[in-house]
Chains A and B, each alone.
Chain A
Amino acid sequence: MKDLLRLLALSRSRWLWMSLGILLALVTVIANISLLSISGWFLASMAVAGIAGISMNYFTPAAIIRFLAILRTAGRYGERLVTHDATLRLLSDLRVWFYRRLEPLAPAQLQNYHSGDLLSRIQADIDTLDNFYLRLLLPSVVALIGIPLVVIIIALYDHTIAGLTLAALLLVGVAIPLQLANRTRKKGKQLITESAALRTALIDGVQGMRELIIYDATERHSDHCLSLSQSYTDLQRQINRASSSSQALTLLVINICVWISLWLLIPQVASTARPPVELAMLILLVMASFETVLQMPLAFEQLSTTLTAARRLFSIIDTKPRRKEPGKSSPALQRCDLHLDNISFDYRDNDYPDNDPQTCTPNKNGVLNRFNLTIGQGEKIAILGPSGAGKTSITHLLLGFWQPQQGSISIGGYNIDDFYSEDLRRHFSVVSQHSYLFANTIRHNLLLGNPQADQAMLDHACRVAGLDTFISTLPDGYDTWLGETGRGLSGGQSRRIAIAQAIIKQAPVLILDEPTEGLDPITEAKVTEALLEAMKERTVILITHRLTMLEAMDNIAIIENGSVVEIGNHQQLNKTSKRYQNLLSYF
């Protein structure tokens, strides 16, 4: 309930459009109910008048019938337009709201959501919330106003039938859907697990096809998938049975309600206590009254998915950003030397609202243990070590994305905690194999860190990054669209864009995290060249195991198990360090 109210509060700003949509929906429903019952009354009156040979004013009811038909049709059209407009407005509100709240949490407090899958789930959750108004709120309000309205109208004629109809409406609109929801809740959860198991088996089976074929296991894996597919379908069948039973029950309740009304009305008409004309009208009114609750089963179906989605989003949103922004303005720096002093750090995190034991397993990788390192102004240092030794953790700490459990980091003599996050990051440019390119123009991507950069700056950066010839071959040049809908880039090209991005930002410290990983040797050589050019006049932290770049560094720190075990330049280490030689013995 609290979550529902919170959702309602979120959509507060659009109440006018939303109410208008609800009003139109109500008009449509009422027009239809009136259309049927007035038609019944009209038919009966005309028949009675015809037999009795009395004249009657048939123009007004005939006109009303036609008017109601048009009102219903137009009302439905208007309702659709207004409700969809309201939904789209809500949708953009929700996304902005969500993004605003998400932004301070990235990336440390989103590490549990880091895989693309989980991020798409967030996306899907917001899509689910779009249904909140259209499928959940709207039908509920229509039922809430519509039910008393029709029951009162019926009560003007007969209290018993009004009571009966009210009971049937509540059964169809609330009790039966609620009972279905209760019956299928557990199965629904099971279905998600079974579905995930089947998906995993299918992904395993497709991705691991080579292994399965070579180890002669395709037959076995197919059988395994078949049995998973069968048990998954079994569960779907159980849910389908429950819902088809409840549909049949709904139909039964509506018809029996009409039937009992008929049973109750016949003696009244036979005893002339009630004019015969009202019989046809009341029967049709009772039949049509169920239109007010027609959408409710769907609303109940949506309720749990909407709430689950909302809770998941709220749980992310309610996370407090861990980095505390300082109370006073950030210090101005004269120099950019870096000191990491006695740092201990690991990625263990226990303050997640939905603490999923599967994703929260303490990560032994990337742990730092009493780590000390000093990087002078303009110094170029390489950090070398096996994967998981803690290399990337260092950059995460420098950028303020994570906080060490122990020790302190300073830049230019000031503790990094004294800086506002954005002011701190202003001093760093990062190029890594994970650099992300946005589905936008090349220009947009290049200007990311410095939207004010002029064309000359852009040209210069692209020349240094070795992008100039490539861009000049593109018909749209800098305005070429990248990403899914646009042009695909090769690994080397996207890495070069990341390098140009870093140059354009003009930050004093350049962090290169395995910048040539995953590139073929020829491209690698060219990218390396571009990087060496970009490094000039900057403080550089390079994480790599490529020889060509190591030779150009002032110092190389070898880390193992989270602390520096050796430090020296290439010539020294190459002569004296067995570790160094081992780490380099790759093709």
Chain B
Amino acid sequence: MTDNADTVNSADNLQNKRWLKAQKSLAGSTLSQSVAMGAIAGILLIGQAALMAWIVDKVMFSDWSLKQCQPYLLTMLALILSRSLFSRFSERLAFEGAARIKISLRDQLLRRLYQLGPCYINNERSAEISNCLHNGIDALEAYYARYLPAVAFSSLIPLAILVVVFPLDWKSGLIFLVTAPLIPFFMILIGSQAEQLNQQRWRALARMGNHFLDLIQGLTQLKLYNASRREIDTVAQVADQYRHSTLSVLKVAFLSSLALEFLATISIALIAVIIGFRLYWGEMNFGMGLMVLLLAPEFYQPFRNLGTQYHARMEGISAAEKMLEILNANVPDQPSASDTDKASNSNILHQVQSISLENVHYSYSPDRPAIQGININITSPGLYALVGESGAGKTTLVEMLLGFISPQKGHIKINQQPLQQLGVHLWRQQLAWIPQSPQLFSGSIIDNIRLGNTAADLDSVKRAAEKAGASTFIDAFPDGYNTQIGEQGTGLSGGQRQRIALARAFLRKSTVLILDEPTSHLDPESEHLIQQSLKLYAQEHIVIVVAQRLHTVRMAERIFMMSSGLLLESGNHQQLLAKNGHYARLIAGKRPE
């Protein structure tokens, strides 16, 4: 079982890795340029070491004076300067490449999400998804700008050093050659296990952190129950427990870096000793020996860098998982009309006269239909109310009217034409929608009202706000319509936010308005104003309300009473009361009589 899960997991990983590699093309040639610059810096480093060893050799054994050395010293200085330039360019280009990939992917993903539509993101996941677009994408920077170049350098630079060292001293070359593959070998062998252990360790730390966060968030609850002081001991206990378990894990995890360190350091020591003896026996020139010693740490450095960038790889791969999930998701079939039809369709949809649902079905899972056999026919302007307890299917019906889901059976027809043929895009141009808690976007109030009609001038915005009962409180702000509203529209009450959303809908001048009444009490003033403006708007437009208030249903032209996905009754308040059926029971249960 676990084996199986592992292979599935690694297949996923492979796919993520492949995808990540493929995205390199978004950076153009910057990433390869960066690697090339870095490689040149590496070659300059070898030159610098050789030159230095040579100068030292000449001074020590050929009694060169400073004057004789000067040209070589100056060349060495030139190498030093150009190396620092090349490595700086390499860094910059690596960032540039990563930046291009990040910007492009973030944009692609967001646009893709809009194609996928809101049904792909149920509300609980919205935080997770926006986090993927922000931090997830940022995590890719380390992958492209640091990990990938580190991979390239770990093969290029040691290879270049080997090519130089082997002809000079094959024994040292052999030590390099033997230990070099051992390092990746150890990294993979211990590393993969250490990686798991390391992840366990981070999970353990995260769990401890979560425990603490749990306590802080529940602090009021703890105080209510006089349990807050008792918890001090648990904090210490949990932390200590984790310290013990974590440390035993760490001992193993650090073994991998121990192995790396050991190989590199012991090799340098070994090379120093071997070269020393060869020099003693006169088998070798001192300059060459010194050069090999100088290059030895540089030979291992790229592997160490790779080791430190390894977590960038893990982070990149796990971030890629969510991105791939979004990019690979199926875009729902959106009814969209061909271009030739569009002109005639927009004629048909110029004004919505009728909306009809014919025997409409929808279910999220096969065994549990959300709505079934719904027939609704709206042929004139007015206020229409959807009523029923939660789970009755009202939300599904609204989602369908908004075009986010299509009926699995039956049809929605607008002006006698099936919505499938008209295209959901044209239909939405006739729509305005206000959810229970409307989203206000960070920006000015005027921009929020103009969301669906950017061309509108200040006068029409003011008129819309007035109709929505929002003008008084907006005028009271020092900045009026230019007042900035922050995250989630802080500073505005629920009723005020509703009224801004209403102004937004009115300014759109759409023929159909769909509104989800909030279940919580708004302040009495807002309640009253919203009711009045809806009544007015319904005189010339079709207004469909998922109703929570008795006032609203009393005003309604027609009430659709739903229960368990079925449309049970329809008619106005008086008619339905007279029927003495489900509606009458619903009203009786809630209303003081």
A-B residue pairs in contact (CB < 8 Å), sample of 14 = A46-B280, A47-B60, A202-B110, A204-B439, A210-B439, A214-B402, A233-B103, A240-B92, A247-B91, A251-B87, A276-B61, A279-B56, A426-B226, A439-B214
Binary contact readout A210-242 vs B (1 if CB under 8 angstroms, 0 otherwise): 111111111011100110011001001100110
Q: When A and B form their complex, which 7 residue pairs have the shortest distance between CB atoms, in order from nearest?
A: A92-B239, A208-B439, A215-B452, A449-B225, A585-B550, A69-B269, A39-B272
User: Do A85 and B491 touch across chains, with their CB atoms under 8 A apart?
Assistant: no
Q: Does B279 touch A at the CB level, under 8 Å? A: yes
A560 to B65, CA, bound (A): 98
User: Do A422 and B92 touch across chains, with their CB atoms under 8 A apart?
Assistant: no
Stretch at the interface among B341-349, B565-573, B585-593: B585-593
What residues on A are CB-neighbors of B262 within 8 Å? 73
User: Do B547 and A587 touch across chains, with their CB atoms under 8 A apart?
Assistant: yes
Main secondary structure of the interface of A (DSSP, over half): helix
Q: Which of A24-49 contact B (CB under 8 A)?
A: 32, 35-36, 39-40, 42-44, 46-49
Q: Does A335 touch B at the CB level, under 8 Å? A: no
Set A259, A385, A426, A584: member contacting B590, Cβ < 8 A = A584
Instruction: Tell me which of A32, A233, A450 has the highest count of chain B C-beta atoms within 10 A of its own C-beta.
Output: A233
* Given known A35-B269, A214-B432, contact A365–B549 (CB-CB < 8 A): no
Q: Does B48 touch A at the CB level, under 8 Å? A: yes
What residues on B are CB-neighbors of A225 within 8 Å? 106-107, 110
User: Do A262 and B52 touch across chains, with their CB atoms under 8 A apart?
Assistant: yes
Main secondary structure of the interface of B (DSSP, over half): helix
User: Do B243 and A203 touch across chains, with their CB atoms under 8 A apart?
Assistant: no
Instruction: Tell me which of A36, A49, A211, A364 has the highest count of chain B C-beta atoms within 10 A of its own C-beta.
Output: A211
User: Do A425 and B59 touch across chains, with their CB atoms under 8 A apart?
Assistant: no
Q: In angstroms, how far is the closest chain A Cβ from the Cβ of B194?
A: 12
User: Do B84 and A73 touch across chains, with their CB atoms under 8 A apart?
Assistant: no
User: Do B265 and A449 touch across chains, with their CB atoms under 8 A apart?
Assistant: no
Q: Does A521 touch B at the CB level, under 8 Å? A: yes
* Given known A214-B428, A215-B452, contact A229–B442 (CB-CB < 8 A): no
Q: Does A8 touch B at the CB level, under 8 Å? A: no
User: Do A581 and B277 touch across chains, with their CB atoms under 8 A apart?
Assistant: no
User: Do A211 and B550 touch across chains, with their CB atoms under 8 A apart?
Assistant: no
Known: A96-B239, A216-B429, A270-B63. 5 other contacts (CB 8 A): A106-B219, A218-B114, A365-B493, A387-B522, A586-B519
Set B123, B222, B280: member contacting A49, Cβ < 8 A = B280
User: Do A438 and B387 touch across chains, with their CB atoms under 8 A apart?
Assistant: no
Q: In angstroms, how far is the closest chain B Cβ from the Cβ of A485?
A: 7
Closest A residue, CB atoms, query B127: A203
Q: In angstroms, how far is the closest chain B Cβ from the Cβ of A434?
A: 8
A277 to B286, CA, bound (A): 11
Q: In angstroms, how far is the closest chain A Cβ from the Cβ of B138?
A: 9
Q: Does A358 touch B at the CB level, under 8 Å? A: yes
Instruction: Tell me which of A225, A258, A586 has the highest count of chain B C-beta atoms within 10 A of its own C-beta.
Output: A586
A106 to B266, CA, bound (A): 57
Q: Does A65 touch B at the CB level, under 8 Å? A: yes
> Is the interface on chain A under 10, 10 to 19, 20 to 34, or 35 or more residues?
35 or more
User: Do B521 and A545 touch across chains, with their CB atoms under 8 A apart?
Assistant: yes
Set A40, A206, A520: member contacting B389, Cβ < 8 A = A520
A107 to B216, CA, bound (A): 10
What residues on B are CB-neighbors of A58 within 8 Å? 276-277, 280
User: Do A483 and B279 touch across chains, with their CB atoms under 8 A apart?
Assistant: no
What residues on B are CB-neighbors of A217 within 8 Å? 451-452, 454
A143 to B88, CA, bound (A): 26
Q: In angstroms, how far is the closest chain A Cβ from the Cβ of B179?
A: 13
* Given known A279-B59, A358-B486, A574-B592, contact A65–B272 (CB-CB < 8 A): yes
What residues on B are CB-neighbors of A110 within 8 Å? 219
Q: Does A454 touch B at the CB level, under 8 Å? A: no
Instruction: Tell me which of B212, B428, B435, B438 has the highest count of chain A C-beta atoms within 10 A of its own C-beta.
Output: B212
Closest B residue, CB atoms, query A386: B521
User: Do A43 and B272 touch across chains, with their CB atoms under 8 A apart?
Assistant: yes
Closest B residue, CB atoms, query A387: B521
* Given known A51-B282, A252-B81, A585-B591, contact A449–B226 (CB-CB < 8 A): yes
Q: Does A123 touch B at the CB level, under 8 Å? A: yes
Q: Which of B190-209 contact A (CB under 8 A)?
A: 207, 209
Set B216, B235, B265: member contacting A35, Cβ < 8 A = B265
User: Do B232 and A47 touch across chains, with their CB atoms under 8 A apart?
Assistant: no
Stretch at the interface among B149-157, B247-255, B351-359, B475-483: B247-255
Q: Work out how many contacts link A and B, with CB atoms closer than 8 A.
A: 418
A475 to B85, CA, bound (A): 66
* Given known A436-B221, A580-B592, A586-B549, contact A43–B293 (CB-CB < 8 A): yes
Q: Does A435 touch B at the CB level, under 8 Å? A: yes
Q: Does A150 touch B at the CB level, under 8 Å? A: no
What residues on B are CB-neighbors of A249 within 8 Å? 84
Q: Does A153 touch B at the CB level, under 8 Å? A: no
Q: Which of B537-570 contact A (CB under 8 A)?
A: 547-551
What residues on A are CB-neighbors of B211 within 8 Å? 439
Q: Does B508 touch A at the CB level, under 8 Å? A: yes
Q: Which of B417-461 contact A (CB under 8 A)?
A: 428-429, 431-433, 435, 438-439, 441-442, 451-452, 454
A56 to B269, CA, bound (A): 19
Q: In angstroms, how far is the closest chain A Cβ from the Cβ of B492?
A: 11
Closest B residue, CB atoms, query A277: B60
What residues on B are CB-neighbors of A448 within 8 Å? 221-222, 225, 227
What residues on A are CB-neighbors of B243 within 8 Å? 85, 88-89, 91-92
What residues on A are CB-neighbors of B92 within 8 Å? 240-241, 244
What residues on A are CB-neighbors of B390 within 8 Å? 520-521
User: Do A438 and B235 touch across chains, with their CB atoms under 8 A apart?
Assistant: no
A61 to B457, CA, bound (A): 87
Q: Does B300 touch A at the CB level, under 8 Å? A: no
Q: Does B318 touch A at the CB level, under 8 Å? A: no
Q: Which of B213-260 contact A (CB under 8 A)?
A: 213-232, 235-236, 239-240, 242-243, 246-247, 250-251, 254, 257-258
User: Do A69 and B226 touch across chains, with their CB atoms under 8 A apart?
Assistant: no
What residues on A are CB-neighbors of B310 within 8 Å? none
Closest B residue, CB atoms, query A577: B592
Q: Does A207 touch B at the CB level, under 8 Å? A: yes
User: Do A547 and B590 touch across chains, with their CB atoms under 8 A apart?
Assistant: yes
Binary contact readout B503-527 vs A (1 if CB under 8 angstroms, 0 otherwise): 0100010000000000111111001
A226 to B297, CA, bound (A): 44
What residues on B are CB-neighbors of A255 within 8 Å? 48, 80, 83-84
User: Do A95 and B239 touch across chains, with their CB atoms under 8 A apart?
Assistant: yes
Q: Which of A236-295 contact B (CB under 8 A)?
A: 236-237, 240-241, 244-245, 247-249, 251-252, 255-256, 258-259, 262-263, 266-267, 269-270, 276-277, 279-280, 283-284
Q: Does A68 touch B at the CB level, under 8 Å? A: yes
User: Do B404 and A248 touch across chains, with their CB atoms under 8 A apart?
Assistant: no
What residues on A are CB-neighbors of B77 within 8 Å? 256, 259
Q: Does A135 touch B at the CB level, under 8 Å? A: no
User: Do B224 and A399 touch across chains, with their CB atoms under 8 A apart?
Assistant: yes
A411 to B130, CA, bound (A): 49
Q: In angstroms, how far is the closest chain A Cβ from the Cβ of B562?
A: 12
User: Do B83 and A251 touch across chains, with their CB atoms under 8 A apart?
Assistant: yes
Q: Which of B264-294 contact A (CB under 8 A)?
A: 265-266, 268-269, 272-273, 275-277, 279-282, 286, 289-290, 293
* Given known A43-B279, A49-B280, A280-B60, contact A214–B433 (CB-CB < 8 A): yes
A501 to B227, CA, bound (A): 12
Set B60, B114, B429: member contacting A276, Cβ < 8 A = B60
User: Do B519 and A206 touch across chains, with their CB atoms under 8 A apart?
Assistant: no
Q: Does A102 touch B at the CB level, under 8 Å? A: yes
User: Do A47 and B118 touch across chains, with their CB atoms under 8 A apart?
Assistant: no
A225 to B77, CA, bound (A): 47
User: Do B273 and A66 touch across chains, with their CB atoms under 8 A apart?
Assistant: yes
What residues on B are CB-neighbors of A207 within 8 Å? 123, 126, 130, 439
A233 to B433, CA, bound (A): 35
Q: Does B210 touch A at the CB level, under 8 Å? A: yes
A88 to B251, CA, bound (A): 14
A501 to B80, CA, bound (A): 72
Q: Which of A421-463 contact B (CB under 8 A)?
A: 421-422, 425-426, 428-430, 435-439, 448-451
